[in-house]
Each structure stands twice: as C-alpha cells, then as structure tokens.
Amino acid sequence: MLAYAAQGLPTDQGSQSGGQVREFLRKCDAALTGLSEAIATCTDELHLEPSATYRAFADVVAQDARSARAAVQLVLAQKSVSSQLIDNLNASTHLRTVLTDLFLISDILKI
C-alpha cells in the first residue's frame, strides 16, 4: 500500500496496482476481524498471568481493530481509490494504533 500511495494515481481503475490495492484492503479488513479473539486465545493457551490483564488488552485491541476496520471499509466503499486516499489511510491513527498493539503483544509473547 505504501508503493501504491507513492505512485500518485488518481484512481485504482485501469492499473494492476489499483486492483491489488483493493485486494490488500479486503485482506486487511479480514485480518482485523477476530484479531482480539486470536490474542486472547494465544495468551490463554500460554497460561499468561494475570489473565485479566491480558483479557483487558485483548478488549483494547478489539476497540482499536473496530476503528481501523471502519476506516478500511470506508476506503473500500469508494468508487475510486486514489493514491492520496491510500496515503491518508496509511497515516490514519486508527490503523497505526492497531499496528502498535500488535508490536507490543508480539514483543511480550516473544518473552
């Protein structure tokens, strides 16, 4: 998506990368679905304590993922997806928050 944003295309129609960007957005939307449940399952299976703390973080991820999904779905609903629109989505605090959540839990799970 960063590469698409850098191309300066006014629309996603008529280019290979334009078709790909919609597919990436659909995959992103799907990946955000159930993300918090996956984190909760993982932390439960690893018997991480205190479990309430990990469940509370999974709840935060659920909220953040809902916000990010709303932004992704808003872009997907557009008839035309320009590079500028993708650039703005990439800069969205909603999407960045979910990524930061994943970096945080990933580092904790490595320990």
Q: Is the pLDDT of residue 3 over 90?
A: no
Check whether 15 has a pLDDT greater than 80: no
Angstrom CA distances, 89 to 2, 36, 41, 43, 54, stand at 10, 21, 29, 30, 28
The H or E element spanning position 90 is helix 83-91
pLDDT tens by residue, 60-108 = 999 999 999 999 999 999 998 888 999 999 999 999 999 999 999 999 9
pTM of the predicted structure, to 2 decimals: 0.86
Which residues does 44 contact at the CB level (< 8 Å), separation at least 6?
A: 51, 54
Tokens 């960063």 belong to 2
Q: Rounded to an integer, what distance in angstroms lies between the CA atom of residue 21 and that of residue 51?
A: 38
Mean pLDDT confidence for 35-39: 95
